[in-house]
Structure 1
Amino acid sequence: MKNLKILPVFNPFDRSLIQEIPMQGKEELEKALETAYRLFTDRKSWLPPHARIAVLGKLETLMREKAEELTILASTEGGKPYMDSRVEIHRAINGVRIAAEEIGRLKGTQIPMGLTAASTGRLAFTMREPIGVVAAISAFNHPLNLIVHQVVTAFAAGCPAIVKPAGTTPMTCLRFVELMQDAGVPTGWVQALILDNEDAEILATDKRVSYLSFIGSAKVGWYLKSKLSPGTRCALEHGGAAPVIVDHDVALEKVVPALAKGGFYHAGQVCVSVQRVFVHHGIARKLAMQLSEAAQKLKVGNPLDPTTEVGPLILPKEADRIHNWTQDAIEEGAELLCGGNKLGETCYAPTVLWNPSDKSKVSQEEIFGPVVCVYSYEDLDVAIAAANAIPYHFQAAVFSRNLDTALYCVQNLQASAVMVNDHTAFRVDWMPFGGWDASGEGVGGIGYTMREMTREKLMVMKSEVF
């Protein structure tokens, strides 16, 4: 009898065992790849746009009916507070609707002919076709919405998809794939596999995969890209250490709550979480103290408690890492304004650090935890240079009442998106979303991803009629 590997799934708050899930191995992976590739290469099996739209409409309805179940499931295995998990589920439902709407926007354009004598007598236009099999490797921090962005987009674009969810949050993905099947997704078009890292690499690098969607660490993402088969397109989302510039003229009563939300939402486990806040010296200390006060008022604890605002880190080792980074920063000169301590095995107190060294890890690397660093600046250009000094360039923000100052920061910050008078973690699912440089490659967002998962084909028709 075959010896099955088992993946244990733990509640990140109390570390209780939720479920043990059988894992798939190389044999099941090969079967999944064969199925997906066969579906793609047989055009007769392709689903017409109206059929995909109908399935996604049914899926949206099912998700609305199961919204509470999905909220509790995602919160239980992922640790995101119930109030935020509920928002995520409704975002995911909206994402399904957006994908259905975007199907009708996957279109080509006419290419002008007759511009030279040699091109007369021709009509030319492009059309968009599915790129092929999509392999999606996902992350834990948004266990449903990320799957929508990686898998529903593939289905909507007409691509067979194989998804490998994060090992810490597989249950939400598996339940969602069940709902997709209940909505009418034909067998084989969306397959979920619970794989170890070795087999996940095989999935990502198989020559039958035409598109890799990866959300996770930069180390793993860039490694997988180096191993991709020739012609495989990829989207890599690695995260960053989001900078914020705060001008002297702002209303602190508006800025501080935004920074607290952007920095401590989901315990800072967000790829565009507020991390490095550069504040004009005239108000820097005042802002830092008010942010510290706001952080100390946040309720930390059980994510299933509807009043909890900050839940646990996904694993005990992450709480340990964040604590070590914080203590190192203090030893290197940072002043601890609040927090700086573990609250149990996986919860960490919301932490504010004042003027850490630019050499500290908290200033150089993504914290991915509930720690916000506040720095005082006198010269705006120096602050912008510090914000740009590390290789992670994702979303940034500037708070200012002066339009010229805000626009100057927008122009000069190295970031794929700059929020004006809002925190760095703002996102809606129809906007472009993706990091520059070490923060990743490719552009996310429902419609943008769907276009990335298709490719253009040109038809040139020669006729005496033209």
Structure 2
Amino acid sequence: MKKKLFINGEWIESEQYADLFSPYTEEKIAEIPLASEKQVDAAIDAAYNNREVMAKLTAYEKAEILEKLVDLLKENRVKAAQIIAMESSKPLKFSLGEVDRTIETYKFAAEEAKRIHGEMIPLDAAKNGADRLGYTLREPIGVVAAITPFNFPMNLVAHKVGPAIAAGNTIVLKPASQTPLSAYFLAELLEAAGLPKGTFNLVTGSGRKVGDRLVTSDKVSMVTFTGSPEVGIGIRNKAGLKKVALELGSNAGLIIDDKVHIDKIVPKCVTGAFSNQGQVCISLQRIYIHENLFEAFTAKFKEETEKLVLGDPLDENTDVSSLISRKEQDRAKAWIDEAAKEGAQIISGGVIENNILLPTVIVGAEPHLKVSCQEVFAPIVTINSIKNVEEGIDYINDSKYGLQAGIFTKDIHTAMNASKRLEVGGVMINDIPTYRVDQMPYGGVKESGNAREGLKYTIEEMTEMKLVVWNQEQY
């Protein structure tokens, strides 16, 4: 399967191609074009030259295109999920879940396209404001460059493409090198949905060549990126005055207070820790549980973890499959070995079998270890006992990240205090930090990012506010 770039409404071959391999079987599944700088520039030019075409679409027309895309995704739900599973090794049950969320995300985008509005400004509240009418408008920002990660190759693309279309912007998309097939499928569906020619462009290739060209182009008005803090900081430093929205890393923590019914929360915690092999920005990585519940919780968590089905991502029964690459697998294994060497106890997993890193549960990992203080992005979770919730809050806040955190407690005052003290973008009370629905404002503080995604909030990022003031005196 040899793919082509999608530039200015045309499918274009590249001079160079790279083989794409399945992370699970390691078999070749496609040939992916490597865009030249000239082709990246052509994609940017197409988006730039079609800004007015997109901006002139009515709210009704933009919503209609997005609704057609929703219908096409519903018709192709299983095919879309199989593409995700094949290129990323996300188990099929979770790939189907991602497609369902993608459908919902574009549905929200269609609805929000009809709700973009400014506000009236009461100018006469100022001494000098009599006889003047003031209001604001929201206008498209222009060309949006979207750089997306591998872990949600459809839904995290939707969180950038959906609001960009709703806001009336044009787009150049650069998907992750390991998961471009989902993006190519999207391009086909957008073409069928009637998106105007040249307003959506898709280029694949190295971040250094394609990404840098997008980030530094004067014709790009905004860069939206999801990925590592190191790359995100580099983008911000190169982008100049253009708007940069960054969704970066995390090592999400959960506090479990005394007297919580652990039987109800253990299955939820296991899912939060090991879905998509732990390759989720808000994957449950650190659990801090009251010392009175520690032994019972740990035993049950280990038991539930070892029930997970490992295997082929295309098998509907599989819970956990391969990590995105051998390199990531080896890195994660090295972090586990470091923790064991430093005195932590590996109570489950910690080994690689049939190209799969077994779900790994670590007890007693010190805060300075990589499995605690960095983003593991692998099926690894640490469990530590705490004397009280305050101690757990201190542990969670002792991090360079701050995306989401969770707390289970029966005490409303404890919950309120935690919601105020936790240094994160989102606090989940009586839930795991992995909880997300697609219309909520999602984003972090510290090295977890500088923006919020969620359709309404992204549209605000992707539009410029214009003030209009009418002097009502007669001239």
TM-score normalised over the length of structure 1 = 0.97
Q: How does 1:235-384 map to 2 (within 5 A)?
A: 235-345=245-355, 347-384=356-393
Equivalent-residue separation in structure 2 for 1:389 and 1:121 (angstroms): 54
Structure 2's unaligned 5+ residue stretches are 1-12
Superposed displacement of residue 118, structure 1: 2.7
Q: How many residues align?
A: 462
Superposed displacement of residue 51, structure 1: 1.2
Q: Which residue of 2 aligns with 1:35?
A: 46
Q: Letter of the aligned partner of 1:166 in structure 2?
A: A
Alignment partner of 1:224 is 2:235: yes
Match of 1:51 among 61, 80, 95: 61
Q: Which residue of 2 aligns with 1:166?
A: 176
Equivalent-residue separation in structure 1 for 2:249 and 2:310 (angstroms): 24
Whether the aligned pair in 2 keeps the contact of 1:340 and 1:350 (CA below 8 Å) is: yes
Whether the aligned pair in 2 keeps the contact of 1:121 and 1:465 (CA below 8 Å) is: no
Superposed displacement of residue 216, structure 1: 0.9
Q: Which residue of 2 aligns with 1:403?
A: 412
Superposed displacement of residue 173, structure 1: 0.5
Deviates more, 1:114-123 or 1:287-296: 114-123
Whether the aligned pair in 1 keeps the contact of 2:287 and 2:382 (CA below 8 Å) is: yes
Q: Secondary structure at the match of 1:440?
A: coil
- Change in Cα spacing, 1:317 to 1:116, as seen in structure 2 (3 Å) is closer
Q: Deviations over 1:38-74 (max 9, x none)?
A: 222x468632222111111111111111111101111
Whether the aligned pair in 1 keeps the contact of 2:14 and 2:33 (CA below 8 Å) is: no
Superposed displacement of residue 447, structure 1: 1.5
Whether the aligned pair in 2 keeps the contact of 1:39 and 1:46 (CA below 8 Å) is: no
Equivalent-residue separation in structure 1 for 2:123 and 2:18 (angstroms): 58
Structure 1's unaligned 5+ residue stretches are none
Match of 2:468 among 451, 459, 466: 459
Deviates more, 1:381-390 or 1:166-175: 381-390
Superposed displacement of residue 278, structure 1: 0.5
Equivalent-residue separation in structure 1 for 2:381 and 2:54 (angstroms): 54
Q: Which residue of 2 aligns with 1:104?
A: 114
Equivalent-residue separation in structure 2 for 1:100 and 1:227 (angstroms): 33
Q: How does 1:423-434 map to 2 (within 5 A)?
A: 423-434=432-443
Superposed displacement of residue 114, structure 1: 2.4
Equivalent-residue separation in structure 2 for 1:27 and 1:211 (angstroms): 20
Equivalent-residue separation in structure 2 for 1:274 and 1:451 (angstroms): 29
Q: Secondary structure at the match of 1:401?
A: coil
Alignment partner of 1:209 is 2:220: yes
Q: Secondary structure at the match of 2:407?
A: strand
Match of 1:413 among 422, 425, 430: 422
Match of 1:68 among 75, 78, 102: 78
Whether the aligned pair in 2 keeps the contact of 1:239 and 1:271 (CA below 8 Å) is: yes
Match of 2:36 among 25, 43, 46: 25
Q: Deviations over 1:269-302 (max 9, x none)?
A: 0000001100111111221121111111101111
Q: Secondary structure at the match of 2:306?
A: helix
Match of 2:152 among 135, 142, 151: 142
Whether the aligned pair in 2 keeps the contact of 1:289 and 1:337 (CA below 8 Å) is: no
Equivalent-residue separation in structure 1 for 2:346 and 2:472 (angstroms): 76
Match of 1:78 among 71, 88, 98: 88
Alignment partner of 1:13 is 2:11: no
Q: Deviations over 1:15-54 (max 9, x none)?
A: 11101122211111111111111222x4686322221111
Q: Letter of the aligned partner of 2:234 in structure 1?
A: Y
Q: Deviations over 1:222-265 (max 9, x none)?
A: 011001022x1111111200011001111111111111010001
Whether the aligned pair in 2 keeps the contact of 1:206 and 1:229 (CA below 8 Å) is: no
Q: Which residue of 1 aligns with 2:395?
A: 386
Q: Letter of the aligned partner of 1:222 in structure 2?
A: I
- Change in Cα spacing, 1:254 to 1:132, as seen in structure 2 (3 Å) is same
Deviates more, 1:161-170 or 1:384-393: 384-393
Alignment partner of 1:195 is 2:189: no
Deviates more, 1:177-186 or 1:6-15: 6-15
Q: Which residue of 1 aligns with 2:5?
A: none
Residue identity (%): 35
Q: Deviations over 1:397-448 (max 9, x none)?
A: 0011122222222221111111111111110000000111111110011121
Instruction: Provide the alpha-carbon RMSD of the alignment.
Output: 1.5
Q: Secondary structure at the match of 1:372?
A: strand
- Change in Cα spacing, 1:97 to 1:3, as seen in structure 2 (3 Å) is closer
Superposed displacement of residue 77, structure 1: 0.6
Q: Letter of the aligned partner of 2:94 in structure 1?
A: D
Superposed displacement of residue 331, structure 1: 0.7
Q: Letter of the aligned partner of 1:158 in structure 2?
A: G
Superposed displacement of residue 455, structure 1: 1.2
Equivalent-residue separation in structure 2 for 1:446 and 1:79 (angstroms): 27
Whether the aligned pair in 1 keeps the contact of 2:33 and 2:205 (CA below 8 Å) is: no
Q: Letter of the aligned partner of 1:152 in structure 2?
A: G
Equivalent-residue separation in structure 2 for 1:265 and 1:444 (angstroms): 21
Q: Deviations over 1:142-167 (max 9, x none)?
A: 11101110112111110000000000
Whether the aligned pair in 2 keeps the contact of 1:10 and 1:19 (CA below 8 Å) is: yes
